[in-house]
Amino acid sequence: MDKILMNQMAFYGYHGLFPEETKLGQRFLVDVDLMLDLKKSSRTDDMNDSIDYGEVYDVVKEIVEGEPKNLVEAVAEAIADELFRSFELLDACKLKVTKPDPPIPGHYQSVAVEIFRERNV
């Protein structure tokens, strides 16, 4: 299946279980793989036959920088739900939401949640 990939979109949000996360906030990185048929758009060269990257960015930004959620899992699910509502051509999506600096002890690069969702027809 064809894909549009948007990687490492960076936002500042207030999601988390710990008080400092909801008060101080933190960075979130989001990767989105949009699965759809790109054959028509590649031949017509018409944005109406594809998905506008700028609009995808705006959807993700609104959710990540919006209403706080306890779990990154809920953030990822909200993004997937809104992408399907917003883009009729979208068949499936894979999302990765990363917290580069979560307030938990230990040495690691980041923590992340990755989900895959398909349109329910």
Task: Please give the positions annotated as active site.
Answer: 99
Structure tokens at 21: 């996360």
One-letter amino acid identity for 1? M
Of 85, 92, 77, 89, nearest to 35 (Cα)? 92
Separation between Cα atoms, residue 46 and residue 64, nearest integer Å:
29
